[in-house]
Amino acid sequence: MRIITYNVNGIRSALNKGFLEWLKQTDPDVVCIQEIKAHPDQLNLTLFSDAGYHAYWYPAVKKGYSGVAILSKKPADHVEYGCGIDIYDQEGRVIRADFGSLSVMSVYMPSGTTGELRQSFKMQWLEDFIQYIDTLKKSRPELVISGDYNICHKAIDIHDPVRNAKSSGFLPEERLWVDTFISRGFLDAFRHLNDAPHQYTWWSQRSNAREKNLGWRIDYHQLSSNLQSRLKRAVILSEARHSDHCPVLIELD
C-alpha cells in the first residue's frame, strides 16, 4: 500500500497547478489531503472518481479554510468524519478511513503562528488529540496518522533551529509533545528510514526559501509501532509543486 500525505494549501489552487495529472502519474493507493479549503459544492468531485479514486471529504464549516480529505483507490470499509470534539470538528481537522484492520487518518493540526490565542488553541488541541488517539487505538490498533502536524520535531528538521527556537512550530513544549506521542507507541516513518539532514516538507513563500531549501519538516506519517515491520519505504516528494508544502510517501507491505 502506497500512502501519501499532502497539504495542498487549497485543492482548487492545486488542481489548477496540475495536481490531478500528478496524482495519476504517481498512482498512490491512498492520499491524505489537508487544507482542502473547499466544500464539495465548490468543485467537481467526479474529477477524482474519473481518476480512479473514492473521495471522502471533510471541510471546515467556514468556507475557504482548513479541511481534510482522503482519496483511496479501494472503497473504505468505514469513514469517520471528525474526532467528536466540536471546536475541532468545526474546523475540519480529522478524517479516518478504515481498510480492513488498517486505519488511515488525515489530520491537519492547528498552527499557532498568528498569535497567543491560536497558540493556546494549538496546545489544547495537542493535549486533546493525544487522549483521543489513546482511546482510538484500543479499538483500531493499526493506525497511520498522516498529515500536517505544524511541528518540527528536532533540530535536523528545520533549516535554522537557533533563530527559530522561539517560533511556533519549533517551541520546546511542541517538540516535547512529539516525543510524548512517539513514546506512546508510534513511529515517525520518515525518520525511521532516513537520517539525512536538509529534508523538508514546507517552505515559506518569501525570500526564495524553497529554491534555497530553507524549509521545515512538519508533515508526517506517524505509524503505530505494530506496523514497523510492514514499513518498506518513506520518501519526501519535493519535486511536486502544487503547494507551499510537498507530499510525503510511505509504502507498507
In the prediction, which pLDDT does 111 show? 96
Catalytic annotation present for 148: yes
The string of pLDDT tens digits covering residues 187-240 is 999 999 999 999 999 999 999 999 999 999 999 999 999 999 999 999 999 999
Mean pLDDT on 35-56: 96
Residue where the block lists cell 496540475: 18
In the prediction, which pLDDT does 76 show? 98
Q: Which DSSP helix (H) or strand (E) runs through 27?
A: none
The string of pLDDT tens digits covering residues 20-35 is 999 999 999 999 999 9
Mean pLDDT on 124-132: 98
In the prediction, which pLDDT does 244 show? 98
Indicate the pLDDT class of residue 110, thresholds 50, 70 and 90.
very high
205 neighbors 244 (Cβ within 8 angstroms): yes
In the prediction, which pLDDT does 100 show? 98
Residue 120 is classified by DSSP as H
Mean pLDDT on 115-137: 97
Catalytic residue among 148, 157, 188, 219: 148
How far is Cα 118 from Cα 66, in angstroms, rounded to an integer? 14
- Contacts for 72-75: CB closer than 8 Å, 24+ residues apart: 72/29, 72/30, 72/31, 72/97, 72/99, 72/104, 73/29, 73/30, 74/29, 74/99
In the prediction, which pLDDT does 189 show? 98
By CB atoms closer than 10 A (0-12, 13-18, 19+), residue 179 is exposed
pLDDT, mean over the chain: 98
% of residues, the chain, pLDDT over 90: 99
| Candidate CATH numbers 3.60.10.10, 1.25.40.80, 3.40.50.150, 3.30.750.200; the one for domain 2-252 | 3.60.10.10
The torsion region of residue 235 among left (phi > 0), alpha (psi -120 to 50) and beta comes to beta
In the prediction, which pLDDT does 173 show? 98
In the prediction, which pLDDT does 138 show? 98
In the prediction, which pLDDT does 217 show? 98
Mean pLDDT on 1-30: 98
In the prediction, which pLDDT does 48 show? 98
Mean pLDDT on 142-156: 98
